[in-house]
Amino acid sequence: MRTLGALWCMLALAATSAPAGEAAGVQLKQADDALEITLDGKPFTTYLFAPRPSMNQRILRPCFYPVFGPNQVPMMRNYPLAEGDPKETKPDHPHHTSLWVAYGAVNGVDNWSNAPKAGWQLHKSFEAVESGAEAGMFRETLDWTDAEKKPILAEVRTVRIPRPKDDTYRLLDLELTLQAKYGTVLFGDTKEGGMCSTRMRTELRADKDGKNGRLVNSNGEAGNASWGRRALWVDASGEVEGKRYGYAIFDHPSNLRHKMAGQPDGVYWHSRTYGLLGSNPFAIQSFDKKNPEKGTYTLDEGKELTLRYRVLFHLGDEKEGKVAERWEEYAKANGSVGSRPADRLAPSASPSEACRLPLRLGLGNE
């Protein structure tokens, strides 16, 4: 279990300016179990793609943790990846791991929860790990499996991190290419999933336990009214130590079911006031029981489906953060999130062992 002392150590490192001579731009450093990503020498996020020896329970899927927004403010909750923060509410949903990809009905397999019979996402290799002055990126191959680790679905996951022009915002672009490499894949209609999922820190929560959080979508539907609604984006914001911070998830207009006859543009969102926020392109009736169309989606053997998302971390609420304007910019962007080849990095050791991220994961549901 990670202690609060280790947490403060990590935060102190995050707040430190880049040392003299530190490479500018977006840098990715590969260790045995993670990619550590910095912006101008300051930590942005760590992509945990394999279990760490310090874990006393299993982790089923890769995730990004920690994630720092403007002014090096952590944006996601610590539990279950770290414990001991007195500002966090009572632990719940241990499968909500910061920022991650998951879905609860893949050929009947639960690849959402951490239940004993849940499926895995297993890292296979990196096709590219690139740093650059204006952007960094990585491209990973994974298998989605059943509980016995038998492959069901192949995925190529491409992540691009543009270098922000200033410290008022940060961006993370995610592209998921799902491949029916092992046979036909059936995605069921369930609310239990998010192809871009997040679990926000306590101060951003919009429920009664949150201090002053705000959850709102592109239609202006706020709080509980945003759950199960079709929208272009959803934003969460709240006050952290006297200043407001937030983040939004964008659904790309090329995504599955972004356009549906007689429906608002966008997809359905699993947006909970207790802190969960995720985009769900497969569910329909699980969110809208009156809709005659089933969300079940079949990916035929040999075919592939690509989904694209952007996560914007910003100062202020959705208006100050220019969320609507920045979604329009994103929607007009063409093609893949992958960048042209940049400065390729060989695997390297991670920073100070004393402040490495010890992790703990529990089991849970929903």
In angstroms, rounded to a whole number, what is the distance separating the alpha carbons of residues 166 and 173? 18
Whole-model pTM over 0.95: no
In angstroms, rounded to a whole number, what is the distance separating the alpha carbons of residues 215 and 205? 8
Residue 331 backbone dihedrals phi, psi, to 5 degrees = -65, -30
The predicted-structure confidence for 124-151, as pLDDT tens digits, reads as follows 999 999 999 999 999 999 999 999 999 9
Domains of the chain: 91-339 (2.70.98)
The residues, any chain, with a CB within 8 Å of residue 17's CB and separated by 6 or more, are 41, 42
CA torsion 65-238-266-218 (nearest 10°) is: -160
Tell the burial category of 273 from Cβ atoms under 10 Å away from its Cβ (0-12, 13-18, 19+): buried
In angstroms, rounded to a whole number, what is the distance separating the alpha carbons of residues 208 and 312? 25
The residues, any chain, with a CB within 8 Å of residue 352's CB and separated by 6 or more, are 13
Q: Kindly state the helix (H) or strand (E) to which residue 244 belongs, with its residue range.
A: strand 243-251
pLDDT of residue 238: 97
In angstroms, rounded to a whole number, what is the distance separating the alpha carbons of residues 362 and 276? 17
In angstroms, rounded to a whole number, what is the distance separating the alpha carbons of residues 171 and 331? 14
* CB-CB contact of 60 with 97 (8 Å): no
- Each residue's pLDDT, cut to its tens digit, for the chain (366 residues) gives 444 434 434 444 444 444 444 678 999 999 999 999 999 999 999 999 987 665 545 679 999 999 999 999 999 999 888 877 777 777 889 999 999 999 999 999 999 999 999 999 999 999 999 999 999 999 999 999 999 999 999 999 999 999 999 999 999 999 999 999 999 999 999 999 999 999 999 999 998 766 689 999 999 999 999 999 999 999 999 999 999 999 999 999 999 999 998 899 999 999 999 999 999 999 999 999 999 999 999 999 999 999 999 999 999 999 999 999 999 999 998 655 553 333 323 333 333 332 333 333 322 334
Residue 189 tokens read as 């209609």
* CB-CB contact of 161 with 277 (8 Å): no
Residue 55 tokens read as 């874990």
In angstroms, rounded to a whole number, what is the distance separating the alpha carbons of residues 135 and 340? 9
Average pLDDT, the chain: 86
The predicted-structure confidence for 91-107, as pLDDT tens digits, reads as follows 889 999 999 999 999 99
